[in-house]
């Protein structure tokens, strides 16, 4: 009887628990349904594209958000062995937030501590003031100063990897505010479940009140995650990510992959801004190239243009794998259009192969110096040049014909686009993924012209593990030049090989490869072949030279080349250039930046707000008249703002940080004044940064 009574009591207890659970679930369902509907309206207002995804999303058949003993929602992702949370999701999330904010993980840009001799000797305005900033940090900021390791009430940026059901995000925002909040959740269904549990409207409203920005990356894969991040910092500025509190809420392979991708690419956020002198000399070069030398501008055809679909292009760079393909290049040269990238020209000419287009990209005078020193001028006069608008102006007259693409994003390109629009009532596009290396430029030209198939030779984006840097026929290995033209031996990155094994790459090579992959992905209707043993480029078909098949050209190649020159290039003149460059507008912009810089502040957040206000003023110029001024100022602004923001939030002592910030800010103020005074004199001056100067500055740096 005792045993029976015990069983009945146990059964009664379970029945009671079941009834209590059903009551909790019914109550939760009622509240959750209303919360879901409210969230839908919020997303419709704030994120209409994501709202559309939500309304068309169909969860799996057994999808459910079930109530926990605490009364909060819980959820078990597909394939997961257990639910996301235990018995009390909110309390569990609160404890996690407390732990992660007390011992925070930060992504920060470095402070510049002392400029090398080469930087100090570089007379360009930007380099001079960056050297002064570095020296200021060295003089004032103690290297052994305790670092800030807990999250303050305000921080510039938060990146949350894995939002779960949103509880941790809500808890985090109760005690902390951010200028920029990035929410990255690779599992769309998990995010969908959060709409039943978290008041997203409150998150968006709070960001509005705090003048913050919320960026949602939902259902994103690690393959395209950083591209989305890159698009944002290109749009609003790298300062949005330069000092980031990084928080992983949920575990899992997908979330871990996002985190690895972010930190593997974090160095890119701090590179490639361009800077004031580059922008201004680019304007001068562009005006002279179009107005004095009358180079036509490249007008890209529609992306799916059929005009060259039946033709093949060879993009030839000077990587060591090009030596594997010499016979193929010789055999097929009359049946394909050959683009020679940079120093690949001398290699091809030495082998008796005349390219149809020589491609160049660098703007300094040393591009001209190298050409005239290493190439027969009479040979150049027989060639066609493809370059970018910022090319050193003495280069194009060396060739039979020269056409220029708009490099973009550049001050000069925006100026040229505005002038072209005034005359032709249409916007001429800039080159896509055309940097950082000349092989990128060559591949961009061939791709945007619309060739049906493109073969890449010597586009290695890396060195063999044995160490060879270029073709054995390259000027880099020529006894007469190898002491003057040296390849960069610093190759810290290991990349997967195209055919097998691995290659080592410099940071620029890694960036070049990533840009090529973005380009290839954007043109899925073109067949790309990567020939030889360089680095693998995602989206291209790896080939050995023995696998190459070439279809005979059915028309005269000379006529194909002439058709390209007449069909894709148009005249461009920049009228009244002194008025077009906007001298008075730049002076007004600098005056506004100086006024902001002199506003009072007494906290980290107030100091950070000054920098954000400056950035927003500069970024507001995009897409408007004098939009090129955005690019004139942007690069140098970001090179200063990165370490300034990091300085504010790097050290534990706020008072000391503000004192150091004030001294560093004074250098930035002097730089703004210098740009204001310089622009009216510099806008039409060529870059005279010669080969001799480069070698001299390098020698100082190496000492």
What is the per-residue pLDDT across 481-504, written as a single tens digit (0 to 9) for each?
A: 555 545 565 678 889 999 999 999
Q: What is the mean pLDDT of residues 406-420?
A: 93
Look at residue 8 and tell me whether its pLDDT is greater than 70.
no
Contacts of 29 (CB under 8 A, 6+ apart): none
CA atoms of 402 and 539, how far apart (whole Å) = 31
> Tens digits of per-residue pLDDT, 64-88?
999 899 989 999 999 888 999 999 9
Whose CA is closest to 283, among 425, 167, 391?
391
- pTM comes to 0.86
The phi and psi torsions of 185 (rounded to 5 degrees) equal: -130, 105
Assign 364 a pLDDT band (cuts: 50, 70, 90).
Answer: confident
List the beta bridge partners of residue 213.
180
DSSP structural state of residue 571: -
DSSP structural state of residue 651: B
> Tens digits of per-residue pLDDT, 461-473?
988 876 555 555 5
Look at residue 18 and tell me whether its pLDDT is greater than 80.
no
Q: Taking the alpha carbons of 199, 200, 203, 206 in that order, is the dihedral positive or negative?
A: negative
Cα of first residue to Cα of last residue in the chain, in angstroms, is: 95
> Tens digits of per-residue pLDDT, 552-609?
888 899 999 999 999 999 999 999 999 999 999 999 999 999 999 999 999 999 999 9
Tell me what the pLDDT averaged over the chain comes to.
Answer: 88
Query: Highest mean pLDDT: which of 106-120, 179-193, 670-684?
Result: 670-684
Q: Are 387 and 361 in contact (CB under 8 A)?
A: yes
CA atoms of 335 and 352, how far apart (whole Å) = 16
Contacts of 110 (CB under 8 A, 6+ apart): 270, 643, 646
**More confident: 2 or 629:** 629
Look at residue 10 and tell me whether its pLDDT is greater than 90.
no
Assign 110 a pLDDT band (cuts: 50, 70, 90).
Answer: confident
How much of the chain, in percent, has pLDDT values that exceed 90? Answer: 65
Assign 158 a pLDDT band (cuts: 50, 70, 90).
Answer: very high
Up-side HSE of residue 91: CA atoms within 13 Å toward CB? Answer: 7
Residue 573's CB: how many other CB atoms inside 10 A?
Answer: 12
State both tokens at 186: 């690779």
Residue 419's CB: how many other CB atoms inside 10 A?
Answer: 22
DSSP string, 21-67: HHHHHHHHHHHHHHHHHHHHHHHHHH-HHHHHHHHH----TT---EE
pLDDT of residue 396: 96
Look at residue 699 and tell me whether its pLDDT is greater than 50.
no
Assign 45 a pLDDT band (cuts: 50, 70, 90).
Answer: very high
State both tokens at 444: 């961009």
Residue 202's CB: how many other CB atoms inside 10 A?
Answer: 14
Assign 262 a pLDDT band (cuts: 50, 70, 90).
Answer: confident
pLDDT of residue 676: 98
Q: What is the mean pLDDT of residues 286-312?
A: 94
Residue 55's CB: how many other CB atoms inside 10 A?
Answer: 10
DSSP structural state of residue 247: E
Angle between helices 411-424 and 628-648 (to 10 degrees): 150
Assign 307 a pLDDT band (cuts: 50, 70, 90).
Answer: confident
Look at residue 62 and tell me whether its pLDDT is greater than 60.
yes
State both tokens at 390: 């910022």
Query: Highest mean pLDDT: which of 23-32, 489-498, 673-682?
Result: 673-682
pLDDT of residue 402: 98
Look at residue 120 and tell me whether its pLDDT is greater than 80.
no
pLDDT of residue 115: 65
CATH number of the domain at 295-570, out of 3.30.310, 3.90.1480, 3.30.2310, 3.40.50? 3.90.1480
Max CA-CA distance within the chain? 113
The phi and psi torsions of 360 (rounded to 5 degrees) equal: -130, 160
CA atoms of 681 and 683, how far apart (whole Å) = 6
CA atoms of 315 and 537, how far apart (whole Å) = 14
Look at residue 179 and tell me whether its pLDDT is greater than 50.
yes
pLDDT of residue 143: 83
pLDDT of residue 260: 80
DSSP string, 190-231: HHHHHTTTS-HHHHHHHHHHTT-EEEEEES--HHHHHHHHHH
Cis peptide before 486 (omega within 30 of 0): no
CA atoms of 401 and 383, how far apart (whole Å) = 7
**For residues 597, 600, 605 and 608, what is the CA-based torsion angle, rounded to 10 degrees?**
0
Length of the chain: 703
State both tokens at 447: 């791709």
């Amino acid at each position: 009887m005792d045993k029976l009574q015990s069983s009945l009591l146990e059964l009664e207890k379970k029945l009671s628990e079941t009834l209590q659970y059903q009551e909790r679930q019914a109550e939760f369902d009622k509240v959750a349904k209303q919360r879901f509907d409210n969230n839908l309206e919020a997303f419709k207002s704030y994120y209409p594209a994501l709202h559309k995804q939500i309304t068309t999303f169909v969860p799996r058949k057994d999808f459910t958000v079930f109530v926990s003993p605490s009364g909060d929602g819980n959820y078990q992702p597909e394939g997961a062995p257990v639910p996301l949370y235990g018995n009390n999701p909110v309390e569990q999330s609160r404890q996690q937030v407390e732990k992660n904010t007390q011992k925070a993980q930060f992504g920060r840009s470095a402070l510049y501590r002392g400029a090398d001799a080469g930087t100090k000797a570089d007379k360009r305005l930007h380099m001079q003031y960056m050297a002064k900033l570095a020296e200021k940090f060295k003089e004032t900021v103690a290297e052994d100063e305790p670092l800030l390791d807990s999250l303050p009430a305000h921080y510039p940026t938060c990146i949350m990897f894995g939002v779960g059901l949103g509880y941790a995000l809500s808890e985090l925002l109760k005690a902390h505010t951010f200028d920029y909040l990035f929410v990255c959740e690779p599992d769309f269904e998990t995010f969908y479940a959060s709409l039943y549990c978290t008041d997203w409207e409150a998150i968006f409203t709070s960001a509005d009140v705090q003048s913050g920005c919320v960026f949602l990356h939902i259902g994103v894969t690690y393959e395209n995650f950083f591209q989305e991040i890159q698009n944002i910092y290109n749009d609003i500025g790298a300062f949005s990510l330069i000092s980031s509190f990084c928080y992983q809420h949920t575990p899992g392979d997908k979330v871990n992959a996002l985190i690895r991708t972010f930190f593997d690419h974090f160095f890119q956020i701090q590179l490639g801004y361009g800077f004031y002198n580059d922008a201004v000399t680019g304007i001068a070069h562009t005006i002279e190239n179009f107005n004095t030398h009358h180079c036509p501008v490249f007008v890209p055809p529609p992306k799916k243009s059929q005009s060259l679909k039946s033709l093949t292009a060879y993009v030839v760079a000077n990587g060591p794998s090009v030596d594997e393909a010499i016979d193929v290049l010789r055999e097929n040269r009359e049946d394909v259009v050959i683009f020679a990238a940079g120093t690949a020209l001398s290699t091809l000419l030495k082998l008796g192969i005349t390219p149809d287009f020589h491609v160049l990209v660098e703007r300094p005078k040393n591009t001209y110096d190298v050409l005239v020193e290493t190439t027969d001028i009479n040979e150049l006069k027989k060639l066609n040049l493809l370059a970018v608008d910022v090319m050193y102006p003495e280069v194009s007259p060396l060739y039979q014909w020269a056409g220029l693409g708009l490099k973009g994003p550049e001050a000069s390109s925006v100026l040229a686009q505005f002038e072209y629009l005034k005359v032709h009532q249409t916007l001429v596009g800039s080159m896509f993924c055309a940097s950082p290396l000349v092989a990128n430029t060559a591949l961009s030209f061939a791709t945007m012209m619309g060739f049906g198939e493109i073969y890449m030779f010597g586009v290695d984006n890396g060195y063999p593990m044995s160490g060879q840097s270029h073709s054995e026929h390259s000027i880099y290995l020529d006894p007469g030049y190898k002491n003057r033209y040296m390849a960069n031996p610093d190759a810290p990155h290991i990349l997967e090989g195209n055919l097998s094994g691995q290659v080592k790459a410099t940071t620029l090579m890694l960036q070049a490869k990533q840009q090529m992959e973005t380009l290839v992905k954007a043109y899925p209707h073109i067949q790309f072949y990567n020939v030889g043993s360089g680095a693998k480029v995602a989206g291209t078909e790896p080939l050995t030279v023995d696998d190459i098949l070439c279809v005979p050209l059915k028309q005269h190649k000379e006529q194909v080349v002439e058709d390209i020159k007449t069909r894709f290039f148009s005249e461009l003149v920049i009228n009244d250039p002194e008025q077009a460059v906007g001298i008075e507008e730049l002076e007004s912009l600098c005056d506004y930046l100086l006024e902001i810089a002199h506003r009072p502040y007494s906290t980290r957040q107030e100091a950070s707000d000054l920098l954000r206000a400056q950035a927003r003023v500069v970024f507001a110029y995009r897409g408007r008249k004098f939009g090129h001024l955005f690019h004139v100022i942007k690069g140098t602004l970001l090179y200063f703002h990165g370490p300034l923001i990091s300085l504010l939030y790097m050290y534990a002592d706020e008072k000391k940080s503000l004192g150091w910030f004030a001294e560093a800010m004074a250098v930035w103020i002097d730089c703004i004044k210098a740009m204001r005074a310089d622009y009216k004199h510099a806008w039409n001056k060529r870059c005279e940064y010669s080969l001799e100067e480069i070698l001299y500055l390098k020698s100082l740096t190496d000492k």
